[in-house]
Structure formats: structure tokens, C-alpha cells
Structure 1
Amino acid sequence: MDEQSVVDVSDDLGEVDVALVAYREDGWWTVAELAEDDLEDVEDVADALSEMGTDAVAMIAVADEFFVLVRVAGPETRVLLSDGSAAEDYDLAASVLDFLDVDDQDDDDLGDPVGHLDVLGDLGIGAPEMEDLLDDTADAEYLDEVLSDLARRLGFGELFDDAVGLSPA
């Protein structure tokens, strides 16, 4: 797979560093890039995953500011935004709040994750482990490395790293 390139979706969205979908087919993970058209808002991402006809997870990192995880498992869609304050500046992050029907956050909650901490619970990463990962995110310089760690825990780390051009450690 070719290296992931920075995709400018719109002026409001900014730079998308990672826009990948991972899905299992016949028990094997496959990783592919999400199309630009699928990145306008979280509903477009969920629709793209639903069309795959299989369980899927999208991993999107924007401007090393925040990431969004979208998990479609059958009829259920779960979403996690790593930093709720990103909704002030980025349409994709704001669309997560809309999708989850969350009003703007209080000042006390700015910077907190929004959504389903158990977004990947059915894949073996429950809410406590996700909370630990989100704590690590605060110290991370590059979110693609955080998502790489998450992908490794899910079993497709090498595919993820190849797609985004991360060298093996």
C-alpha cells in the first residue's frame, strides 16, 4: 500500500494526517485509505464503513490535534473523539458532537474525550484500556504513533504502519 499523504478536505477541517479503515475479511485484517468524500463528517465515515458489508473501524487523525475512531459493527455505530475541544475549530470534530447529540462542552470538560470509550470493546480494547491510551495521547507528539499503538493492539499494526509510512521500531 502506498504511503498515506496529507489530505486537505476543506479549509475548516485542516490537515488529515491519517484516514484509514481497517476491516476483517475471512479472518484477516485489511487496511485501506478512506476517500476524501467520506471525511466531510462522521456520518459520511459511518456510511462508508457500513457499505463495506463487514465489521470495520475508521481511524482518523487531524493536524496532530485530535483523532476520531468510528466503529461499525452490524447495525451499531460507536464513535470516540479524543479531544472535545477540537469541535471549536474542526468540522469533523463538531460532527462527532452532532452525531452523539452532545451539546457544546462546559469549560470544565474542554479537552476531555467525547463518545464511547468502549468503541473497540468488542475487539478486546475496553473502556479502561482506552482511557489509558487517551492519557498517553496528552503526552504524544504525533497522533499517528498513538493510533499505530492502538492498531498493534488490535492486530493490524504492521498494516497500519505501512499505510501511514511509519518505520518499524
Structure 2
Amino acid sequence: MNELDEAEADADLAVAAYLEDGEWVVDELVPDHAHDVEDLIGALRRFAGEGGAIGMIAVDEDFFLLVRVEPHRARLLLSDITAATEWELAATAVEFLGLPLPEDDEDEPSPAGDLDLLHDLGMPALDLAVLLDDEELYPDEMLSEVARSIGFGEQFDDAVGLTSA
């Protein structure tokens, strides 16, 4: 996994979002948490909030990972399963999901995981799928749209340095 070790470098952004007293709070995550899904889940458990936390990670304009940690379970969505051939974080997400690693360049880019993980917060699976199909958006822009849809777009954009459209 030499290629994966070299590519594990840096997430473009890594934040946790959670509800506290009915208001969304967005905090940056330590970069070390963006290398492995199990570490990320452990870090998100610290942000218990009201019903858990959402982790949002974008890597190298290539893919994003959404992780939702609730009191008794963790769910995730990887925006592009083919990223698992190049990125350790994506590979650990595929492993967590119990899916086989894609073959190099043989599989089509497609999401993997739970498209419905944000349904109860106002973003149904269909809306998330439509967003994932938008080839014009970068992963950080997609995550900004997700944040906006579930109610913390401005806080997200401020935390990661995006300007609002």
C-alpha cells in the first residue's frame, strides 16, 4: 500500500457538526482523524450533542466522506468508491462498509454507503444522490450544500473558509 501511504496526506477539510441546545455547532477536526474511519468515529463520539455528530471530510478535490455517529451506531457515505484505490481514508471506509475494494480503474465512480443517513435532518437520499451526480461541484462545495440543506451552511462555510454563493 505504498501508494495509499503517500496519498494519505491531507484532507482539504475535516469538521464535526452537532446540535447543542437546538443550535448547530461546527468544529474543526484534528487532521489525524482524517486517515482512518475508526479513528474518525472515535473522535466524533466526543461531540455527543443532541443525538450524535456528523463528520464531514473532503480529500484532495477527489472525494468526500460523511460519517454520522449516533449513540448506538455509526453510518457513513463515501462519495466515490474508486477513491479507495488511492486514499487510505476511503479504503478504510470501504472496509467499514464490508465492501470489496474496487479494481484499479475498472469500476465506475459511484457512492458507497448510506445515502439516507441525513434523511431525518432534512436531506433525503434522493437529494443527496442528485448532489453526488453534479460533476461541476468539488467535494467541499458538495459538503457545503449538504450543510446548507440540513441547517448549518453558514457555520460550515465559515469553519472551512468557503465564501457563500
TM-score (ref. length: structure 2): 0.89
- Aligned pair partner of 2:20 in 17, 21, 25: 25
**Consecutive unaligned residues in structure 2, runs of 5 or more:** none
Counterpart residue number, 2:123: 125
| Superposed displacement of residue 143, structure 1 | 1.9
**Aligned 1:1-169 pairs, distance under 5 A:** 11-54=6-49, 55-105=52-102, 109-136=107-134, 138-140=135-137, 142-169=138-165
Deviation at 1:157, TM superposition (A): 0.5
Distance 1:68 1:20 in 2: 11
Give the unaligned 5+ runs of structure 1.
1-9
**Mapped contact 1:14–1:63 kept (Cα < 8 A):** no
Q: Number of aligned residue pairs: give it.
A: 158
What value does the CA root-mean-square deviation take over the aligned residues? Answer: 1.6
* Identical counterparts, % of pairs: 47
User: Which digits, 9 at most, give the CA deviation of each residue in 1:57-103, with x for residues without a partner?
Assistant: 01100000000000012212111000000000000000001111111
Secondary structure, in 3 states, of the residue corresponding to 2:11? strand
Question: Which letter does structure 1 place at the counterpart of 2:38?
Answer: E
Does the CA-based 8 Å contact 2:11-2:31 persist in structure 1? no
Residues 101/148 of structure 1: CA separation in 2 closer, same or farther (3 Å cut): same
Q: Distance in 1 between matches of 2:18 and 2:125?
A: 21
Task: Measure the CA separation in 2 of the matches of 1:99 and 1:16.
Answer: 19
| TM-score, structure 1 normalization | 0.87
CA deviation vs aligned residue, 1:11-51 (integer Å, no higher than 9, x gap): 33133111011000010000001112222201111111112
Partner SS state of residue 158, structure 1: helix
Structure 1: distance between partners of 2:107 and 2:7 = 23
